Amino acid sequence: MLLAAAAVHLRRAAGGRGMRLVARLGLEPRRTLCVVEVAGRVLLLSSSESGLALVMELERSALAALEPEPARPARLVDAWRALGGRS
């Protein structure tokens, strides 16, 4: 909930565009680290029951390390074997 409110605030600050959630890491049930790209900046934010805080601004080059690799489609035969099927 708090993260959604922060997203709305950041989106308004960016003029409603140019914002995206790059990565999110849950640390505990109510504690999260988020990397957000907004208005050309890359921010590491912490979210907890006490609020949202800027941890640090990251270099843009850090984005490459955070981007997920494209998912490789599973082969049907591998899925079948994982479910206990025989080939």
Q: 10: burial class by Cβ within 10 Å (0-12, 13-18, 19+)?
A: buried
Look up the pTM and report it.
Answer: 0.59
Q: How many beta carbons lie within 10 A of that of residue 59, not counting itself? A: 7
Give the pLDDT score at 15: 56
What does each of the 87 residues of the chain score in pLDDT, given as a tens digit?
Answer: 455 555 556 556 555 567 888 888 888 888 999 899 988 898 999 999 999 899 999 888 888 777 766 666 667 666 667 676 665
Distance, CA of 70 to CA of 85 (rounded, Å): 27
Give the pLDDT score at 1: 47
Give the pLDDT score at 62: 81
Residue closest to 46 by CA, chosen among 36, 59, 60, 61: 36
Q: How many beta carbons lie within 10 A of that of residue 35, not counting itself? A: 19
